[in-house]
């Protein structure tokens, strides 16, 4: 598919997530799981059939016919019937942790996010990464400024998100003061950075003053098994709020290409 036509979603104040490409499918996962039996893909479940066929498959299934239409083979009117197909095997694989077949599918994303988000993301070492390098070109002057609502968001149950012992309760004026302070620091750091570049400081050293709130870009590629592992940790209430915004969007984009697998993954979440 033309890369320009792939979905792009804006995240945070300057970030985005872009689906570059996917490979494989829910069907390919089933086919891979049946390599020992040679049965391949047998089809998804029957949702509609004919009264005359009674779900036995001896007549022509009614998919694609309008309401009340007649089966050209048995002339019986269609009715709803639920006969599970290969989605049952797909669910069995996932529920019983037979994860290898999910490695035949996957996706590549382009991400623009603050550096501190990438530091969390890179802990998932089963993915393949290529990040923009400030050794070769200056990073754009784009920095993350959390909203007041984000600053006031405080989870009492997540120790990693909590404040230090003895800290005062953050107020809206205090949150706005912090916003002003980091905007001023970002501007100061950018000034030192640009001045260093003009004076001939190597780019790989001039970047030392850049904060972890500076935006960078990367591409990340993984098979579906490892994207599901990523989502298990990062699309979770205990993950930091910023990376959760990327994870939720990533899950939405994967659903477009692997709807049955992602539905099973969603059903299995607490």
Inter-residue contact 151 to 241 (CB < 8 Å): no
Using CA atoms, how far apart are residues 33 and 133, in angstroms rounded to an integer?
Answer: 40
| CB under 8 A, 24+ apart: contacts of 34-41 | 34/89, 41/86
Q: How far is CA 94 from CA 30, 85, 100, 161, in A?
A: 11, 15, 10, 31
Residues annotated catalytic, as ranges: 234
If DSSP codes are grouped into helix, strand and coil, which group holds residue 12? coil
Q: How far is CA 207 from CA 13, 152, 187, 201, in A?
A: 22, 31, 14, 10
DSSP state of 104: G
Inter-residue contact 7 to 18 (CB < 8 Å): yes
């Amino acid at each position: 598919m033309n890369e320009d036509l792939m979905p792009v979603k804006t995240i945070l104040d300057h970030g985005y997530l872009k689906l570059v490409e996917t490979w494989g499918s829910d069907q390919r996962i089933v086919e891979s799981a049946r390599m020992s039996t040679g049965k391949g893909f047998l089809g998804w479940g029957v949702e509609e059939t004919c009264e005359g066929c009674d779900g036995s498959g001896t007549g022509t299934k009614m998919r694609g016919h309008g309401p009340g239409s007649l089966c050209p083979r048995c002339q019986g009117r269609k009715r709803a019937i639920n006969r599970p197909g290969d989605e049952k095997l797909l669910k069995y694989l996932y529920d019983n942790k037979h994860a290898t077949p999910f490695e035949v599918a996957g996706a590549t994303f382009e991400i623009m996010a603050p550096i501190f988000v990438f530091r969390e993301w890179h802990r998932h070492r089963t993915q393949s990464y290529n990040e923009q390098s400030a050794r070769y070109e200056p990073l754009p002057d784009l920095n993350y400024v959390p909203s007041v609502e984000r600053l006031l968001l405080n989870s009492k149950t997540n120790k990693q998100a909590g404040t230090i012992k003895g800290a005062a309760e953050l107020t809206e004026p205090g949150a706005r003061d912090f916003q002003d302070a980091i905007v001023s620091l970002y501007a100061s750091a950018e000034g030192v950075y640009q001045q260093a570049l003009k004076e001939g400081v190597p780019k790989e050293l001039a970047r030392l003053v850049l904060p972890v709130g500076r935006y960078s870009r990367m591409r990340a590629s993984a098979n579906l098994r490892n994207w599901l592992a990523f989502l298990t940790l990062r699309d979770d209430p205990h993950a930091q709020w910023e990376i959760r915004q990327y994870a939720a969007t990533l899950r939405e984009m994967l659903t477009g290409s692997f709807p049955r697998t992602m539905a099973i993954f969603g059903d299995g979440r607490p």
